[in-house]
């Protein structure tokens, strides 16, 4: 399997459901709207999602925040239209 084709909306839902369930697609979803997908296809997609989003939802600790560069203030200036 190199590619699993599906409409964008379905792919978005699949990604959302896998992320909401901590990297796996629930049995209910596997047997429901994603029943056309084979078990090995789902496992590969889950692995890709897990790898892609690994650590994405983690909240940085205070020590991690000190490593970030300081935020510069942003000033917006209104320009006059001729």
Q: Could you tell me the residue ranges of all domains in the chain? A: 8-57
Which residue, chain included where needed, has tokens 């429901």?
32
pLDDT of residue 1: 46
Low-confidence ranges of the chain (pLDDT < 50): 1
pLDDT of residue 16: 92
pLDDT of residue 79: 59
In the numeric block, which tokens belong to residue 43?
Answer: 């496992």
- As a whole number of angstroms, the distance between CA 70 and CA 16 comes to 32
Does the pTM surpass 0.85? The reply is: no
Encode 19-38 in three state secondary structure. Answer: HHCCCCCCHHHHHCCCCCCC
pLDDT of residue 21: 92
């Amino acid at each position: 399997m190199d590619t699993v084709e599906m409409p964008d909306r379905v792919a978005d839902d699949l990604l959302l459901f896998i992320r909401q369930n901590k990297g796996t697609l629930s049995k209910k979803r596997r047997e429901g709207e994603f029943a056309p997908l084979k078990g090995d296809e789902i496992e590969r997609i889950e692995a890709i999602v897990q790898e892609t989003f690994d650590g994405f939802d983690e909240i940085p600790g205070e020590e991690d925040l000190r490593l970030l560069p300081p935020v510069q203030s942003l000033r917006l200036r209104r320009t006059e239209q001729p």
